[in-house]
Structure formats: structure tokens, C-alpha cells
Structure 1
Amino acid sequence: MARRTGRRPGNPDTREAILTAAREAFAERGFEAASIRGIATSAGVDPALVHHYFGTKEQLFKSCMDFPIDPAEMLPQVLAGGPDEIGERLVRFFLRIWDSPAGVAAVALMRSAVTNDWTARLLREFVTTQMVRHVVTRLAVDPAEVPLRASLVASQMAGLAMVRYVLKLEPLASAPPEVVVAAIAPNVQRYATGDLGVAAPAQRE
């Protein structure tokens, strides 16, 4: 009989205990402050078991969110080309994802975030740390401004998702992608690379 290869699926109860502990840690402390060791302690397992089941902290975070796309696959497409078109590429990529079959899962996640504070905090961490901030940090901007710029870009994209795909407010809900890109990309571009007109606020600990 042929041997199975690859990572073993593991005990479902253990995996779920790790995921539950991880979701609580990421929601309460954020992605940066949460640690594999702390999550393992909360789940009552050895840290090596967390790595065995889920790999890195980023991979564990993605498993917690069950987001329909992998941000690592998004970055090369968004970053290809010069920084002066980053806003347009972000909006185009965003629309391509949300208008695809993966958009159904994204809408469900957005609806859950509206009614569940725990999910909202997880989604906020995921969007800012795994998606937008990865893009902004590769631009020629003051590092002190990166958190503010990332959150501003995220606010624009989240607002677009809510109005176009969840609330389905017309005429934006059925506007052609080119119309949406032309209207929103300049705002995203200014948030990403333009003059914000204010000093970056100090981050709260």
C-alpha cells in the first residue's frame, strides 16, 4: 500500500484548540504582539506542535481568518510597476478579487465583522498587517507614516467593500470597474504616497 506524504492532518480537537487560542490572541493583542509560545500555552500544547500543524505565525493567522486569497500572491501583482500607479493597481486588484467567486467568502467575512467585534478586530489586523502594510512599506515614504497610510488605504478599501458589495448601494454597486477605479484610485494613491497634510500620530502601545 502506498504511503501518504505531506503533513499529517493531526488531531482535529488539537487543531481547533490551537485555532481558538490563536483567534483570541490575535483579536486581543494584535498580530505583532501575539506569539506562538503564548498561543501554545493557551491551547495547552507545545509550541512545536503549533508549528507542525500551521507553520509560521503568518500561516497560522491566515488559517484563523480563512480568507479567500493569499496576500503573498497579491503583492507581486500590486507592486509591479512604479509607485505612481500603486493606487490604481490596488483598486483594480481589489475589484478583481471581490467580483470573482472568492468575493462571496469575502462578503460573508465582512458581514460577520459588522456584527461581531471579535471578527472585526481579526479582520482589521489581517487587512492592515498582512495586506496593506506590506504594500505601503515597500514605497518610498517615511517609515513613521506607514501605520497611518496603511490604515487610511484600508479605510478606503473597506468602505468600498461595504457600500458596493454588502449594502449594494446604487449606482456604485453596479458601476463598471473602470468608473470605480477612476473615482477611487486617486484617493488611494494620495493615502499611499501623497501629502497627508498632517504629522503621523504616535502609535499606541
Structure 2
Amino acid sequence: MTAPTRRPGRRPGQSSSRADILAAARVLFGDRGYDKASIRAIAGEAGVDPALVHHFFGTKDELFAAAMEFPIDPATILPLILTGPREEIGERLVRTFLRIWQDPRLSPQFVGIIRSATTSKTGATLLREFISSRLLARVAEALDVPRMNLNAAASQMVGVVMFRYVLELEPLASASEEELVALFAPTIQRYLGA
């Protein structure tokens, strides 16, 4: 007996197709980066026809933007960084950053964003807009720190992430949180001028 062939379009019954496509896109964009993750591969991973991906999301760029929507709202993490003595802000920033990246629910999506930022203009734009508009602008306003200093702090933390979580370069990849805080917090503190 042959298996029934899958018909293009929507699945019968209650549909989770959109969520399945987003989940598959996050996995493939994270594993392969933007350029190597095709609509066909994402559809295959989600168990849907590629036409359904286009139906829900239009272009690959639009799918990427939806899939790589940042999994955290800066409004929830900024108080963790900004609340407390100013002379400890470098330490709080490094700790908060590391804890977010170590969260197994968030890490794959963040790794996908970083990988895609290195391989596609769309990925780079999404990361830049998030860091500049949604994060740095708010920190600059709260701390009254020059934007150049904030960019320097952000570049330091993105570099840590790239080497620790994407490239998994040792000994950085297996260093403890305490080791990384001791190493990077003083530099971040200097950038933030406190």
C-alpha cells in the first residue's frame, strides 16, 4: 500500500503551519545562516509545501525577519542592567548578557541571528537595528553616555558571543561566568564611563 501523497497548500484540520514554519526557519537559519537556508528546506523541515511558506510570509527576507524576531524585549532586560550602583554596571551588563545567551530556549535563535548577520545584509540590518534602536539608544539615554562608547561596549559583547557561542573557541567557550565577568566587566565599565 502506498502512502497518500501530500497535497500542496494548507493542512486539513486545526493548523499550526505558521508556527511550524517559524520553528523550522529558526532552526535552519541558526544552523545554516541566511544564505544556505532555502525556502524549500524550511518547508521540508516544517512538513509543508513551499507555497504555504510564501503564503504566510511572502519572501525569504520577510520569513527571516519574522523568524529572527528577537526573543527578548529590551524593556525586560534593561532594568537588570541599569538598576544598581553605576560603578557595577559593567558587571551587570556582562552577567545579563551571558545569562540570556546561556538560556537554552533563547540561545539557538540568538546564534541564528549572529550567524545570519555575518552572511546576509538582511541579517546584519536586523541585528544592527536591534542593537542600535532598541537597546543602545535606551542605554545611552539612561546613562548619558556617548554613543561611541556604547558601540564599543556592544562590539565587545558581540565579540564575546561570536567566539563563545558561535565559533566555540576555547578556552572562552568553556570559561565560567565568573571568569568572563572578571575579564570583561572592567573594560565594559570603562566604556560606560563610570
Same fold per superposition (TM over 0.5): yes
CA contact (8 A) 1:128 1:154 kept: no
Change in 2 beyond 3 A, CA 1:111/1:139:
same
Q: Deviations over 1:178-204 (max 9, x none)?
A: 00001001111111125xxxxxxxxxx
* Equivalent of residue 130 in structure 1, options 134, 138, 142: 134
Give the counterpart letter for 2:125 in structure 1. R
| Aligned residue in 2 for 1:73 | 76
Q: Deviations over 1:145-189 (max 9, x none)?
A: 2x2122111101110110000011000000000000010011111
**Count of matched residue pairs:** 140
Q: Secondary structure of the residue that 2:151 maps to in structure 1?
A: helix
Cα-Cα RMSD = 2.6
Instruction: Could you list the structure 1 runs, at least 4 aligned residues long, displaced by more than 2 angstroms after superposition.
Output: 12-17
Deviates more, 1:172-181 or 1:147-156: 147-156
Superposed displacement of residue 139, structure 1: 1.2
Residues 80, 115 of structure 1: alpha-carbon distance in 2 compared, 3 angstrom cutoff: same
Q: TM-score, normalised by structure 2?
A: 0.64
SS for the counterpart of 1:76 is: helix
Instruction: State percent identity of aligned pairs.
Output: 46
- Separation in structure 2 between the aligned mates of residue 104 and residue 128 of structure 1, nearest angstrom: 22
1:89-108 to structure 2, matched below 5 A, reads 89-101=92-104, 102-108=106-112
1:171 is paired with a residue whose SS is coil
Deviation at 1:81, TM superposition (A): 0.3
Which residue of structure 2 lines up, in the alignment, with residue 119 of structure 1? 123
Change (3 A) 1:15 1:139: farther
Higher Cα radius of gyration: 2
Which consecutive residues of structure 2, in runs of 5 or more, have no partner in the other structure?
1-52
Q: Distance in 1 between matches of 2:192 and 2:158?
A: 15
Q: What is aligned with 1:154? A: 154
Taking the aligned partners of 1:155 and 1:66, their CA distance within structure 2 comes to 20
Query: TM-score, with normalisation over the residues of structure 1?
Result: 0.61
Tell me the distance in 1 between the aligned counterparts of 2:109 and 2:97: 14
Aligned residue for 2:173, secondary structure, equals helix
Deviation at 1:125, TM superposition (A): 1.6
Aligned-residue offset at 1:112: 0.9
- Alignment partner, residue 172 of structure 1: 172
Contact residue 164 and residue 173 of structure 2 kept, 8 A: yes
1:13 CA drift (Å): 8.0
The whole-number CA distance in structure 2 between the counterparts of 1:155 and 1:112 is: 17
